[in-house]
Chains A and B, each alone.
Chain A
Amino acid sequence: MEHLSDGQLLDMLSQRRSEPEAPAGHLAECASCRQRLASMRETWDVLGEWSVEDRATDLTGRIMGKAQAARSIYLWQPRAVVRIAASIAIGIGLGGFVGRPGPVSVSDQQAAEAMYLDALALHSSTGWASPLLGETGGD
């Protein structure tokens, strides 16, 4: 005896209220096919109760929009401007720090001049006595 195919069983499920004659006769005689049909019906009933959510969303549009935003977000957002300004400020600060002059060095000559020490040297105030003090010429 040839059993009913899955397709015949599915046809029977989808047309339950008007079942064809031949498969119905076979079912009356074949317990195996009746069991398969019952199992399929359970699954069919579960699927009949599952409702598919339809969001009606344009995914392509949303993805493309996000891609566009990602491209421009770093340049035009205020946060990006602040980052750029901070980078410049940090750069100038670091450069200025590295380029700062070393400790001021003062020579003996500068120090002596700052304290007018050269006025203490032995020389003639008027210049007239300079030959007597052994000052050399050279003006």
Chain B
Amino acid sequence: MTKRIFHVGLLTCVLIAGAGGYTLRRNLGVPEPKALDCTRYWLSLSAPQCEQIREDDPGFHEEAEALAAALQGQQEVLIGLVSEAETPADEIRRQAGAVVEAHHALVRRIVRHLLAVRRHVDVRQCRLLNQVCANVMRPSGLQGGGRVRQQRGRGGPPWAEGQGEGMGMGRRQRRRYGQLGSSLGLTEAQQAAATEAYPSYESDAARLAEEVRAAHARLAEVLADAETADAAVEQALEEFIGLRSELEMGTVDYVLSIWPMLSAEQQQRLIGLSQRGRRWRGGRS
């Protein structure tokens, strides 16, 4: 009888300790995976694949983090300069150039990493990677909320089809160009002064904006195609970067041509536009 009581007691100990262990383990929760682990878990990479990627492209996460922080820092400096009405236009222009360069350095690093990952994944993993790239690079991005265009056109990713409307400046481009003036609340006199300082901007900006879109769509397309050679991807990337730099700096020159004429309210609007540059993850972290 005593023996039986003892064994029942042991069983109770096991049950109580088990309940405690279960509760404790549950309360510890799931640790947030590190950046490197995210890629590993998400693509279901094997240990040898991880090792190969690390050897092929060492230090990506540290470098990308540093580049993102540098970009964020440059954007902060630009906002600070734009906030001061007395800041010389040349200084703002230099800083805007630094922001664009910092962004492109980050983009180059990311694409280099994507190419390295692509080299070591299987077909299924590559498809998954391409899919998320395409989602991020589509106009609405992963966050959704934007309207994805589904027009039929000249090839490229489905979401990019029909975006190009020829090299001439159509009504849509003119409307977009006009959106810059309305975004800043420019008066007719200010727009006339800016056009006088930069006569070709209206047509250049509209053309460049379309070319940047097309180049971005091409980049997305070659990234989505696992068969595309790395050199072709890099070429598409440089083309996109070149066009975007041209558009960015042209716009900066246009706005800075009337920098001394901007009112306090217009300056605030320009700060608001500058803050849009930080909307992506690097700007949130």
Contact = CB atoms under 8 A, between A and B. Distances in A.
A137 B33 contact: no
A87 interface: yes
Given A87-B13, A92-B20, A108-B135, A118 B100 contact: no
7 tightest CB-CB pairs across the interface, nearest first? A91-B17, A95-B21, A127-B277, A114-B38, A99-B25, A127-B276, A95-B22
Given A119-B281, A124-B277, A92 B18 contact: yes
B213 interface: yes
Contact of B280 (A83, A92, A121): A121
A111 interface: yes
Interface residues of B, number: 92
Contact of A120 (B107, B146, B183): B107
15 contacts: A74-B3, A88-B17, A99-B23, A99-B26, A112-B132, A115-B39, A119-B110, A120-B136, A125-B104, A126-B274, A128-B273, A132-B180, A132-B209, A133-B209, A137-B272
A94 B176 contact: no
A109 B22 CA distance: 31
A118 to B, nearest CB: 5
Contacts of A73: 2
A99 B68 CA distance: 38
A91 B13 contact: yes
Contacts of B208: 132
A125 B277 contact: yes
Contacts of B248: 124-126, 128-129
A115 B135 CA distance: 14
Interface in B144-173: 146
Interface residues of A, number: 58
A122 B274 contact: no
A92 to B, nearest CB: 4
A132 B19 contact: no
Contacts of B139: 122, 134
Given A74-B2, A112-B142, A131 B136 contact: no
B216 A122 contact: yes
A80 B179 CA distance: 83
B37 interface: yes
B73 interface: no
B229 interface: no
A95 B26 CA distance: 10
B137 interface: yes
Interface in A68-100: 70-71, 73-75, 80, 83-84, 87-96, 98-100
Given A95-B20, A130-B276, A111 B281 contact: no
B15 A91 contact: yes
Contacts of A112: 132, 135-136, 142
Contacts of A100: 25
A108 B205 CA distance: 34
A81 to B, nearest CB: 12
A135 B29 CA distance: 39
A123 interface: yes
A105 B44 CA distance: 10
Given A119-B282, A139-B275, A95 B25 contact: yes
A110 B36 CA distance: 11
A103 B205 CA distance: 49
A139 to B, nearest CB: 5
Contacts of A90: 14, 17
Interface string B251-268: 110010000000000000
